[in-house]
């Protein structure tokens, strides 16, 4: 039991170290943004220290929060609420650092050195604030993307591969209800299953009927040629009225991996 607890503790410690390193990495990138913007405003344009610092820190905050929430803490926490708590931290930190840093510069400290010191303090205190308060109960709650398979007719498959078709139309059945933006779909040619491509779902739009879906999209996005007439009745060959009782979906995707996806010319 003691060994098991020790292993669990080591695993948690390792995870915390890795989390801190990721936070450090994103903070460094945010710091680069802050330093570059500060240098341009303070050293090149010759603005006063405090507005130069204020603008540069705002830019770095937005960058740092966005990437750390998604990749460091992997939080599914309500974004506006999490951002509000982060802004509360900065509501305290910014005035203290602005007035404190300005005072140090006034007594002869180098402005760039003062900014670096404030960045170090910012890194340590912000990590502790986000780790033990903002995301404390929502760490690793962001669901991982899943991958599903779907089959396409040769015509629809070809239009996707050629970059014309961007939207897959499906009924809102149990399988599709589990999908979310960011999930992956492996599309297979139903006539040549060795032909496939992988796509990422960028958006899912729910409609009451195929009629409304067709009204919302250009026919080329749905896979029709210029000389073809796009009509929602075309979907009746695949689905009945009973099938569409829970509505239909327009699944917008972006292809990023093809596997022998060429189709024979007919």
User: What tokens were used for 239?
Assistant: 């689905």
Q: Which CATH number fits domain 147-259: 2.30.30.140, 2.30.130.30, 3.40.50.300, 3.30.70.250?
A: 2.30.130.30
- Return the higher-pLDDT residue of 88 and 141: 88
Distance CA 207, CA 87 (A): 37
Cα–Cα distance, 134 to 69 (Å, whole number): 10
Band of residue 266 on the pLDDT scale cut at 50, 70, 90: very low
- CA 67/CA 65 separation, integer angstroms: 6
Q: What is the pLDDT of residue 265?
A: 41
The residues spanned by each domain of the chain are: 2-134, 147-259
CB atoms closer than 10 angstroms to residue 48? 13
- Of the candidates 182, 188, 170, 197, the one whose C-alpha atom is nearest the C-alpha of residue 146 is 182
pLDDT at position 80: 87
Say what the pLDDT of residue 226 is: 86
Q: Which tops the pLDDT comparison, 102 or 257?
A: 102
Return the pLDDT at 258.
62
**How high is the pLDDT of residue 87?**
87
Q: Report how far Cα 128 is from the mean position of its chain's Cα atoms.
A: 23
Binning pLDDT at 50, 70 and 90, where does residue 260 land?
A: low
**What is the C-alpha separation between 139 and 74, in angstroms, rounded?**
6
User: How high is the pLDDT of residue 263?
Assistant: 45
User: pLDDT grade, residue 149 (50/70/90)?
Assistant: very high
Strand order through the sheet with 248-259: 147-152, 184-189, 196-207, 248-259, 167-171
Per-residue tokens: 41: 């405003």
* Global pTM exceeds 0.75: no
What's the sign of the alpha-carbon dihedral 237, 241, 246, 249? positive
Once rounded to an integer, what is the mean pLDDT over residues 162-171?
93
Per-residue pLDDT reduced to its tens digit, 7-49? 555 555 788 888 889 999 998 999 899 989 999 999 999 999 8
Q: What's the confidence (pLDDT) of residue 3?
A: 52
- Position 198 scores a pLDDT of 93
Distance of alpha carbon 89 from alpha carbon 107, whole angstroms: 27
| Distance of alpha carbon 147 from the chain centroid | 17
pLDDT recorded at residue 193: 74
pLDDT of residue 15: 85
205-240 confidence digits (pLDDT tens):
999 999 999 999 999 999 998 888 999 999 988 899
Residue 118 has pLDDT above 50, yes or no: yes
Measured distance CA(70)–CA(54) in Å, rounded: 25
Look at residues 134, 100, 124, 119 and name the one whose alpha carbon lies nearest to residue 57.
Answer: 119
């Amino acid at each position: 039991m003691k060994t098991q607890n020790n292993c669990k503790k080591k695993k948690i410690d390792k995870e915390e170290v890795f989390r801190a390193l990721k936070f450090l990495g994103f903070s460094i990138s945010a710091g680069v943004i802050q330093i570059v913007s500060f240098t341009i405003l303070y050293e090149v344009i010759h603005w006063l220290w405090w507005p130069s610092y204020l603008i540069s820190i705002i830019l770095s905050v937005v960058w740092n929060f966005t990437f750390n929430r998604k990749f460091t803490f992997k939080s599914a926490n309500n974004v506006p609420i999490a951002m509000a708590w982060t802004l509360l931290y900065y509501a305290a930190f910014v005035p203290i650092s602005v007035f404190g840093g300005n005072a140090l510069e006034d007594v002869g400290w180098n402005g760039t050195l003062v900014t670096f010191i404030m960045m170090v303090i910012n890194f340590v205190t912000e990590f502790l604030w986000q780790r033990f308060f903002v995301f404390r109960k929502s760490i690793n709650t962001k669901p991982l993307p899943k991958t599903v398979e779907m089959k396409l007719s040769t015509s629809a498959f070809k239009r996707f591969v050629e970059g014309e078709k961007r939207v897959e139309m499906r009924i809102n059945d149990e399988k599709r209800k589990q999908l979310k933006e960011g999930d992956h779909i492996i599309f297979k040619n139903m006539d040549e299953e060795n032909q496939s491509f992988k796509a990422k779902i960028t958006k899912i739009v729910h409609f009451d009927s195929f009629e409304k879906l067709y009204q919302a999209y250009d026919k080329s996005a749905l896979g029709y040629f210029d000389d073809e007439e796009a009509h929602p009745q075309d979907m009746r060959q695949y689905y009945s009225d009973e099938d569409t009782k829970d509505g239909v979906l327009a699944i917008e995707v972006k292809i990023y991996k093809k596997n022998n996806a060429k189709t024979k010319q007919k």
